[in-house]
Amino acid sequence: MIKIFKWGEVSPEEIFARLNPTASVEGVVAEIIAEVIKNKDAALKAYSEKFDGVKLDTLEVTQAEIDEAYQNADQKFVQILEEAAANIREFHSKQLRQGFTIERADGVIVGQKITAIDKAGLYVPGGTAAYPSTVLMDAIPAKIAGCAEIIMVTPPSKDGKVNPDILTAAKVAGVTRIFKVGGAQAIAALAYGTESIPKVDKIVGPGNAYVAEAKKQVFGKVSIDMIAGPSEILVLADGTNDAKDIAADLLSQAEHDKMASAVLVTDSETLAYAVSEELEKQIPLLSRKEIARKSIDDNGKIIVAENLLQAIEISNEIAPEHLEVCVDEPFAYLDKIKHAGSIFLGKNCPEALGDYYAGPNHTLPTSGTAKFSSPLSVDDFVKKTQFSFYPKTALEKVADKVAYFANKEGLQAHGKSATIRFEKKD
């Protein structure tokens, strides 16, 4: 049963389980990465046989396999995918940045240009935890950014095929190439390249502890989006809410993972106990009831605050991945919320809207990192490059100042490079 506290009886650090699920797999992941670097495709095929129970002749998904999955897909599902993709494109298109140029009176020109990364690598979980929504959320921003290649990896099932829903979503999203590889070995392949899989510039997407640890270990060789921890939801709700709705929203995250955290912060003790009772009614009805039960019992909490403003202070301290603000006038509180991965406003905006359909990204910072991190966006797939131009007359005016500054730092050659152009040449 979920635990109920009054504010002050539990510290912010204890509200969400701040676990490090990757610590115990560090050595194993290092070995896998080293093996992929050494033996490339051969290592990937061996790991597929070992971990996925399938012997693969080739690693790449063919266009025929993608087309077959799309043609055989449930048409209602395809329609919903297309609608969701349109919403995601609309939202992320607003994130496109423009470069800029500053031209000064003395002829100096400085500026910044925006360039898409060449190759984006997408990790998409497969098997029983197949998430076509992740394909849309990761591939569409990369496409909008202008990435020339979008390389997706996802584990195969025991028949050597990729989940057809994932392939259908990949076709809708515009993924360039798809490979039947999962786990830490897939991250290693994207980071270092193999005979089949090209090396990418950035790896994004969620995964288990092995995937998260692999992303951590290859960072520096490639860029990554984030090290995602277990899923989190924090629901802020006043006493006017229906306990059935709030319980369902908490369970939407609890069913993800036994380590997921679902927390309600409310100013109503009556609602707190009503939600607790409702959770006990709804959990047995879920197909993933064992997972939800473990998540709620181990990590679930209800915090009774004095008022909604205090509840928001609690939320800002926690910086949750998902934050629902279940009140009648949610926009009155929006400016007071400083730290959250994604905010869902009002009583009719469950977090599941963001997972699938609304348009904002669902790849979000966890474990309190929303205090300094952002959701996945078009920005993740571009880089900024600065440029400067000085005509000789403009350099002459400032060369001595540059040299003076450089000499203050003990870097004489720096200064000399500015002044030498105005010394008498032999």
One of 321, 339, 351, 362 is an active-site residue; which one?
321
Residues 375 and 354: their CA atoms lie apart, in Å, by 12
Residues 69 and 420: their CA atoms lie apart, in Å, by 66
CA 420 from chain centre, in angstroms, equals 49
One of 92, 213, 255, 322 is an active-site residue; which one?
322
CA dihedral 318, 337, 357, 373 (to 10 degrees): -60
**Cβ within 8 Å of residue 27, ≥6 positions away:** none
Q: Is residue 414 among the annotated active site residues?
A: no
Beta bridge partners of 4: 302
Q: Label residue 70 exposed, middle or buried (CB < 10 Å: 0-12, 13-18, 19+).
A: middle
Q: Which helix (H) or strand (E) holds 331?
A: helix 331-334
Residues 228 and 363: their CA atoms lie apart, in Å, by 9
Q: Is residue 322 among the annotated active site residues?
A: yes
3-state percent breakdown (helix, strand, coil) of the chain, nearest 5: 50, 15, 35
Residues 279 and 302: their CA atoms lie apart, in Å, by 12
Give the CA diameter of the chain. 92
Residues 97 and 4: their CA atoms lie apart, in Å, by 45
The sign of the torsion formed by the CA atoms of 48, 52, 53, 54 equals: negative
User: Which are the catalytic amino acids?
Assistant: 321-322
